[in-house]
Amino acid sequence: MTGSILQINVSRGGLPKRAIPEAELTLLSIAGDLCAHPQFHGGPRQALLLISSEGIDELAALGFPLFHGALGENITTRGLDRRMWRVGQRWRIGPAVIEFTKIRVPCENLDIYGAGIQKAMYDARVKAGDSGSPRWGLSGFYASVILPGTIRPGDPISLMDIAA
């Protein structure tokens, strides 16, 4: 499975995150990205949030006024099927390596984009770990940074062989 970085996003804390031309991935975050609620976000197991552009498009088609970075994602991907994303997968992003650590549970801060957005992107099946849910991956996946590096929009993202 291979796709690419569509957009890299940071903020001084909170939503939305805005696009930047390149990013230095560190073990704790993207350099310059801040969390409004560090008690819930950030840290080595939640250094990054990835969301697929196709998932954002699906939610926008339901009437939510979304754009890349709106959901607080650090990396907006293109060409990756979110329904195939799993905790434990390792991905090469340009020169860096990340590992998905958990699916993101959406919070009430996303309600600025409309009532019902949380339910549109996350349900009981997702909470139970059922990747067969039509909502699987819409809220994104948190990742840890295994190998830091500088990334840019257009860089390839490819699933690594877990056994390697």
On whether residue 30 sits in a domain, the answer given is yes
CATH assignment of the domain containing 20: 2.40.33.20
Contacts of 59 (CB under 8 A, 6+ apart): 66, 117, 120, 121, 138
On whether residue 56 sits in a domain, the answer given is yes
Q: Which domain holds residue 83?
A: 2-159
Percent of the chain whose pLDDT exceeds 90: 90
What is the pTM assigned to this prediction?
0.95
On whether residue 125 sits in a domain, the answer given is yes
Residue 65, preceding peptide bond in cis (omega within 30° of 0)? no
Which 8-state DSSP code applies to residue 105?
P
On whether residue 164 sits in a domain, the answer given is no
On whether residue 110 sits in a domain, the answer given is yes
Please give the pLDDT value at position 164. 43
Number of separate domains in the chain: 1
- Please say whether the beta carbons of 25 and 150 come within 8 A: yes
117 φ, ψ (degrees, to nearest 5): -65, -40
On whether residue 91 sits in a domain, the answer given is yes
On whether residue 62 sits in a domain, the answer given is yes
Reading the block at residue 148, the tokens are: 């830091």
Condensed to tens digits (0 to 9), the pLDDT of residues 36-58 reads: 877 777 889 999 999 999 999 99
Nearest one of 77, 142, 130 to 103, comparing CA atoms: 142
Condensed to tens digits (0 to 9), the pLDDT of residues 98-121 reads: 999 999 999 999 999 999 999 999
Residue 62, pLDDT > 90, answer yes
